[in-house]
Amino acid sequence: MESVRAVLVDIDGVLTVSWRPLPGAVEALREVREAGLAVLLVTNTTSRTRASIAGTLADTGFPVSAEDILTAPAATAAYLAEHCPGARCALLNSGDIAEDLDGVTVVDPADSGAVPDVVLVGGAGPEFGYEALDRAFGLLQRGARLVAMHRNLYWRTDEGLRLDSGAFLAGLEKAARVEAEITGKPARAFFEAALARLGAGAGEAVMVGDDVESDVLAAQRAGVTGVLVRTGKFQPETLRAADGTPDHVIDSFADLPVLLRGSAQQ
C-alpha cells in the first residue's frame, strides 16, 4: 500500500449499528483524524440526509459534520443532473431525503399529467409494497429508465439483518428486462467522486466497510485499498463466496489505526 492520505469509511455496520457507536469507533475516528488523514464517510443510507446523519453522529461523539459525508442520494442528484437533466422521477424510497436530492424533480406517478421519465429506487421499507412495485414495473414497461441508489440486499440493525431494496431491484430488472443504473456503492463513479472530494488518488486511499462486495471489492476495482471489518452485516460465508479477496480484514474499525500505522512503517 502506498502512503495513505485519505480514508473512506462506511457508516452503518462500521461506525454504528442502529445509529449507536460500535466499541472503540469514536476513538478510532478521532485518532485517524489526528494523524492528519483526510476522512470522508461514504454511505448508501437513503433514509436520512447528510445533515441528519452528521447531527446524529456528532451527538454520539463522532468528530464529523455534513461536509464529511457523501450519501447515495447526493451522488444520485449529481448523476441525474449529468445524465438526464430535467427528468421527472418517480421515487420509491423509505425516508425523507429531499434535501440531498437537490435539483431532482420528483413527481407522483398517479398524476396523469406528469409521466415519469425515471423510476428512482432508494432504500427499502414499508413503502415497498406490491402496489408500489407493480406501478414501478408498469413505468419501466412504458420506457422509463431505472436508476437505483444501491444494490444492497440487506443491512444490520440491533434486531438482526433487514431486507433492503437490492432484493426488489433484482426482481424489477428481471421482470422488465432492464438493467438499473447504480449511483451509490458499488458504482465506480461513486468512489471516484469521493476521492475527488478529498483531492486524493486511488492509490493513496483506503475504503473501510462491512459489505465485502459493495464496499470493499468495489473499492479495490477502483484502485482503492479495501479493508473489511467483521462487524455489521459481515458474515464468514459471504466472505468465502465473494468474487475476490479483500486487501485486509480486521475485527472492527477500532483496529484501523493500528493497521494504518503498520502499513506506514512498511
Q: Where are the alpha helices (DSSP H) in the chain?
A: 25-34, 50-59, 72-83, 130-141, 165-176, 188-198, 218-221, 236-240, 256-265
Can you tell me the mean pLDDT for 208-232?
97
What the block records as the C-alpha cell of 139 is 413505468
Give the up-direction half-sphere exposure of residue 56: CA atoms within 13 A in the CB hemisphere: 17
76-85, 131-140, 154-163, 166-175: which range is least confident on average? 154-163
Judge whether residue 29 has pLDDT over 90. Answer: yes
Can you tell me the mean pLDDT for 159-168?
93
Strand 154-157 and strand 88-92: the pairing is unpaired
5-9, 37-41, 151-155: which range is least confident on average? 151-155
pLDDT, tens digit, 9 for 90 and up, residues 78-137 = 999 999 999 999 999 998 899 999 999 999 887 767 789 999 999 999 999 999 999 999
Residue recorded with cell 398517479: 110
- Phi, then psi, of 223 in degrees rounded to 5: 90, 5
Residue recorded with cell 422521477: 89
For residues 208 and 16, is the Cβ–Cβ distance under 8 A? no
* Per-residue pLDDT at 43: 95
Question: Could you give the percent of the chain with pLDDT greater than 90?
Answer: 86
Spatial neighbors of 169 by CB under 8 A, at least 6 apart, are: 121, 146, 148, 151, 180
Give the up-direction half-sphere exposure of residue 32: CA atoms within 13 A in the CB hemisphere: 30
Query: pTM of the predicted model, to two decimals?
Result: 0.86
